[in-house]
Structure 1
């Protein structure tokens, strides 16, 4: 085996850089406002392929991204199971440090939480029986539709003519009701629904993105929306450092490699919206969303 030779000056420079990185991580970690020092308390709502725990480590798309970022920042992970309906309040009251796993960016959430750079992009869709194949707002009119408590687009969904809305604490419960015929459709987390359908082809369900892209229903039908992690505004330093770690994973396209493990293969999930809607809101006016260009 051929050994590479590094001059002593290069070795010393590398060691100095490593020491500086360790010092920076330690200094930053001391600035973080955590429930437990050195430990990142993570809200776990239990939906794959978003963010769950397996053998003491975070898995799922956002889970693996956060696990890598936390390790680089020298933080341990502490999972805290809870329902999504209480997750945002848990961050605000200091019960947990962070929420993630298919958490959508909205301007309202940016006012109440420090939101990271995106881990991916998505468009909402309608889950229905394959024979129905709903994909428009009009298809939901006068129908029984299920969704999840606390989702940002619920006010828009309630405006659909004649729609009768049932709310659930989890996607599993909503899917059980559509299979039982108690509701006609579900509007939920696209990755969660897609993953569940792919694992259960006998359900004969489809999840089709909204084809409307209606400007009067931007949260419900808009494309290129962003998934993020959310932290307390008091933890902006950690949010910034996590954003830097996420951008690094975008730059080497590591996010796409993670996504492929969970069926997240659509190129649209790694391509930002043409509308740079966060610039000048919770990001500088010259900010650009990351993308995987490979």
Structure 2
């Protein structure tokens, strides 16, 4: 066999292998379309984004966002209950198709999953009782800050806690973290501003307030790496529902204020 024929055969073989690999790769959007159902990972213990009402029905801003998506796409919705620490593993293992669960966009997370365009925002803060004299990170020295395991607040504060001389008390989910604050087990909590406000509503005799702003994060829909078709369709859906105001209406209903003007 001459060199030219060998090169041609190699090219054909490579093409065939590439075709087989493409067929073998499961496209999540195709799977969703065929099943006529979408599995969305959502934390139902992080009010007001996700929670259960008195009749044990899921409600909240992320819940309604997921419901709107399923309705617009004509799909049956299946919630995959998750926590801060399991949102990304649920995507990587195929337990959920997407995650709509106060998932803030960070460089570290972008290495392991893909993000849609932002659909909402989250102000990450350290909150505390009004009588606690904390106004900066340096004021945390010798104190303990409650935090939910696996959240951006946990990751950020873990990096600086030793140098700044404070401790972290980790809880497995936001509901337990909030209960600790409401019951007086901790007087400082690193979480979203929305949750700090929820603590005050639950314990008006011991109101919490924003002490330190850590970051303002974009919230986006999480998608497993390598799903460009699904990501493109999600981005189109987000653009349309920011433009028509539906996503802003959901956010304002539960968080009390509009999305930033640049998003709307």
TM-score, length of structure 2 as denominator length: 0.77
CA distance in structure 1 between the partners assigned to 2:191 and 2:57 by the alignment: 26
Aligned in 2, Cα 1:53/1:97: closer, same or farther, shift over 3 Å?
farther
The CA RMSD over aligned residues, in Å, is 2.8
Residue deviations 1:27-85 (CA, integer Å, cap 9, x gap): xx984344982211122321222135678986311222222122222222111223332
SS at match of 1:208: strand
Aligned in 2, Cα 1:125/1:135: closer, same or farther, shift over 3 Å?
farther
In the TM superposition, residue 135 of structure 1 has moved relative to its aligned partner by 4.2
What are the within-5 Å matches in structure 2 for residues 136-147 of structure 1? 136-147=136-147
Q: Say if 2:181 and 2:199, in contact at 8 Å, map to a contact too.
A: no
Runs of 5+ consecutive residues of structure 2 not aligned to the other structure: 1-26
CA distance in structure 2 between the partners assigned to 1:76 and 1:133 by the alignment: 49
Bigger-Rg structure (1/2): 2
Of the three residues 244, 264, 269, the one matched with 2:256 is 264
SS at match of 2:175: helix
1:188 corresponds to:
191
2:235 corresponds to:
243
CA distance in structure 1 between the partners assigned to 2:50 and 2:183 by the alignment: 27
CA distance in structure 1 between the partners assigned to 2:98 and 2:86 by the alignment: 12
CA distance in structure 1 between the partners assigned to 2:34 and 2:130 by the alignment: 47
What are the within-5 Å matches in structure 2 for residues 190-269 of structure 1? 190-198=193-201, 200-208=202-210, 210-211=212-213, 221-223=214-216, 225-265=217-257, 267=258, 269=259
CA distance in structure 1 between the partners assigned to 2:57 and 2:98 by the alignment: 16
In the TM superposition, residue 143 of structure 1 has moved relative to its aligned partner by 0.7
Q: Give 1 or 2: higher helix fraction.
A: 2
In the TM superposition, residue 191 of structure 1 has moved relative to its aligned partner by 2.5
Aligned in 2, Cα 1:121/1:209: closer, same or farther, shift over 3 Å?
farther
What are the within-5 Å matches in structure 2 for residues 37-52 of structure 1? 37-46=35-44, 47-52=46-51
Q: Say if 2:127 and 2:189, in contact at 8 Å, map to a contact too.
A: yes
CA distance in structure 2 between the partners assigned to 1:31 and 1:256 by the alignment: 26
How many aligned positions are there?
A: 233
1:280 corresponds to:
none
In the TM superposition, residue 87 of structure 1 has moved relative to its aligned partner by 2.2
Larger displacement relative to structure 2 (234-243 or 92-101): 234-243
Q: Say if 2:200 and 2:208, in contact at 8 Å, map to a contact too.
A: yes
CA distance in structure 2 between the partners assigned to 1:128 and 1:119 by the alignment: 28
1:85 aligns with 2:56: no
Residue deviations 1:185-208 (CA, integer Å, cap 9, x gap): 11013323323433x252522231
CA distance in structure 1 between the partners assigned to 2:60 and 2:133 by the alignment: 27
In the TM superposition, residue 107 of structure 1 has moved relative to its aligned partner by 1.2
CA distance in structure 2 between the partners assigned to 1:106 and 1:52 by the alignment: 24
TM-score, length of structure 1 as denominator length: 0.69
Larger displacement relative to structure 2 (241-250 or 256-265): 256-265
1:164 corresponds to:
167
